[in-house]
A and B are shown apart, each in its own frame.
Chain A
Amino acid sequence: MHFEGTFDIKAPRQKVWDFISIPNNVAKCLPDLQKLEVPAPDRFKATVKAGVGFVKGTFNFEFTMLDMQPPTHAKLSGHGSGTGSTVDLETAIDLSDLPDGGTRMAWKADAKVGGLIASVGQRLLEGAAQKLVSNLFACLKKQLEG
């Protein structure tokens, strides 16, 4: 599954960069965060609850920040498992200046889902994943502007 989007943030690029390069800030935007560990500045472990309606599962994720090119480009690679399923996530973020002093964030995400959810949840998976990923980025925007 591939998702992508672009949105503008009313904050300067450096501020956006500083914010998103801290695992704690990113983790706050994960759905229903249960637990967070940050063993290294570029790595964090998060336990989240995700799903649709009451169909929810607990996933243990390990995220790594890669290819950090301050303050323009970053990649976040995540690998999670739970509910008889696995999620492998690759996201990339590109930041650019806007004429009004704001920042444009272009993001891409590729998710590969395996196991139970992939095999029985086809009908819901894409919609649900799209929503989760969009919520994540919308939350980042909100936190930066708020």
Chain B
Amino acid sequence: MIPRSFEYLRPSTLQEAVQLLDKYEESKILAGGQSLIALMKLRLASPKYIIDITRIPGLSYVKEEGNKILIGPLTTHDTVENSPIIRNKCPILSEAASRIGDQQIRNRGTIAGTLCHADPSADVPTTFLALDGEVVAMGKDGERVIKAKDFFQDFFTTALNPNEVVKEVRVPVLPPKTGTAYIKHARREGDFAIVAVAAIITLDENNVCKSASISLGSVGPTPLRAVEVENALVGKKLTDEVIVAASELADRGISPPSDIHGSAEYRAEMAKVFTKRAIRLALSRIGG
């Protein structure tokens, strides 16, 4: 349980980190290290160069700007969970962060780290997709914004180029009459989800569903949007019959994996159950 040998590099700016990424093949950014180090110790991942960005100043922050919340890449899950801005303006992200692993992990793990790791069972990526969040990627030739829907490409694979780092994570300030819920089915608190659901529901002044954003975790190689469920909600009064009927569509377009905690068939069924519960919970949280 000791990693293979590697070179340790510690840049003092993000620009320098990008240069190092560009210079060294098989290099990897170290932020919170909560997934990377575990994989290295198992020798399942063996980057030749570890670029430790944790000492770069100014990368941990939460700010509100216009209708967006800007989050520094090194902001820890604990900070995200407890940030008053996030709790008030985008509570689902705080809720998702609170469900990650345990307190020690939340003290170290970072928001950009979990997004870049792109584990489809992880809590934040699923929520980030439902939020239509954005990642600001910084590369040798400048910056670009990547939308959540484009960001997750496969297991552990994102749209970042090998020589890009995440400079900032952005999520929207949620509009009024919005209710959110992130829930997961796991055998132990803090485990990777068997199925996770993030639901964001906005009603109009007549309490008709104006928008619905539902994403599912642990049912495919990336978090997935339950588009058919969303479509079955928008434009309707969300009676329980509507919610139940819509949730039945949650297994459309998913390709769940199997493991000892849940077969693919079970996960498909749980996707429906937890979609229903997440929508109900989100709806119940919409304030007057």
Instruction: Check whether chain A touches chain B (CB < 8 angstroms).
Output: yes
Residues of chain A having any CB pair with chain B under 8 Å: 51-57, 83-84, 116-117, 120-124, 126-128
Chain A residue nearest to B39 (CB atoms) is A55
A110 to chain B, nearest CB (A): 17
Residues of A within 8 A of B109 (CB): none
Say yes or no: A127 contacts B257, CB within 8 Å.
yes
Q: Complex: how many Å from CA A52 to CA B257?
A: 15
Residues of B with C-beta under 8 A to A123:
121, 192, 257, 259
Write 15 A-B pairs (CB below 8 A) sorted by A numbering.
A52-B156, A52-B157, A53-B154, A53-B156, A54-B28, A56-B46, A83-B44, A116-B42, A116-B43, A120-B44, A122-B257, A122-B258, A122-B259, A123-B192, A124-B155
Contact with A along B233-261 (1 / 0, CB 8 A): 00000000000000000000001011110
Tell me the minimal C-beta distance from A26 to chain B in angstroms: 25
B47 within 8 A of A: yes
Is chain B's interface secondary structure helix, strand, loop, or mixed overall?
loop
- Closest-by-CB residue of A relative to B156 is A53
> Is the beta-carbon distance between B45 and A52 smaller than 8 angstroms?
no
CA–CA, A56 and B48, complex, Å: 12
Contact A124 B45 (CB under 8 A): no
Counting from the closest, the 10 A-B pairs by CB-CB distance are A53-B156, A122-B259, A52-B155, A53-B157, A123-B259, A123-B257, A55-B45, A55-B44, A52-B156, A124-B155
Q: Which residues of B contact A (CB under 8 A)?
A: 28, 39, 42-47, 118, 121, 154-157, 192, 221, 255, 257-260
Question: Which residues of A have CB within 8 Å of B47?
Answer: 54
| A122 CA / B264 CA spacing, docked (Å) | 12
Q: Select B221's contact among A54, A57, A117, A127, beta carbons within 8 Å.
A: A127
Instruction: Please report the C-alpha to C-alpha distance between residue A36 and residue B217 in the assembled complex, in whole angstroms.
Output: 40
